Amino acid sequence: MRFEAPHERESEARAWAVVRVAYDEREPVAWPRRHARPLLAGAVVAAVVAAALSPPGRSVVRSLRESVGIEHAEPALFSLPTPGQLLVTSHSGAWLVRRDGSKRLLGHYRDASFSPHGLFVVATRANQLVALDPEGRVRWSIARPAPRSPVWTGTRSDTRITYLSAGRLRVVAGDGTGDHAVSNERRTGARRAARIIVRNGQSQVVLGGRTVFRGTGVFDQVVRSPNGRWLLVGWPTANQWVFVRLRPRKIVGVARITQQFGRDPHVAGWCCA
């Protein structure tokens, strides 16, 4: 039911009469054609923004976003498809993920790396290099300015950690002793056989000259499983990880990665079957 104030219709008629007289007496002004395109572009942008902000518009944007990725992806990382464990870093810290999908936040660390055989983890924070056990307990730490990119190599009984600090490469023994700078030396390691190629808005994982997986958007990393039979593909565009078994071929998608690990998740290692 609509409420009408007294004499509302008469007031509307008088107002319309005044507006019509003013319109008839106006002086016509030419509108340059060059103004038409900016006005049209502005109208289009406004329409797109209005559509995106409206409930139907948000639904369309959500549908487009959900159309990228593995359609029947698992809603969470319930388990790993093959033996081993993952070391994951994100804005939330460093995570250790077991084969059964259970995960532990080791702490608010940045870069991280497994020791040989996955017995320990080396990680960095503001001005410290830290060695941890799988429960997140600190075994040792050393103070160094802004350490980053640690790599722990060696055998079970003789290991060393290389890392960068203050623009220099440094080496420390696995027990935290003998830290020293290394001059004119670069870290070496086996190149990943799998690589990512981006073409026309699509990313593909190429292994041995053969495309083993492709999708729309950006892949940010490929990590091989300890037994070499699976690849883990990071797909931030879809907020997914995709596990690809090479032979016989099988695809397993896991969704909502940032909700589980925090912003910018990165697999720092897949270790030890």
> Quick check: 253 and 74 in contact, CB under 8 A?
yes
Q: Would residue 24 count as lying in a domain?
A: no
Domain boundary among 182, 214, 237: 182
Strands 128-132 vs 180-182: parallel, antiparallel or unpaired = unpaired
Same domain, 215 and 154: no
Q: How many domains does the chain have?
A: 2
234-243 pLDDT, tens digit per residue, is 999 999 999 9
Q: Would residue 93 count as lying in a domain?
A: no
Q: Domain span at residue 258?
A: 72-78+191-271
Cα separation, 188 vs 185, whole angstroms: 9
Q: Would residue 56 count as lying in a domain?
A: no
Across the strands, what pairs with 143? 128
172-196 pLDDT, tens digit per residue, is 999 999 999 997 555 554 445 799 9
Indicate the range of 33-42, 103-112, 153-162 predicted with least confidence.
33-42
Chain-centroid distance, C-alpha 25? 62
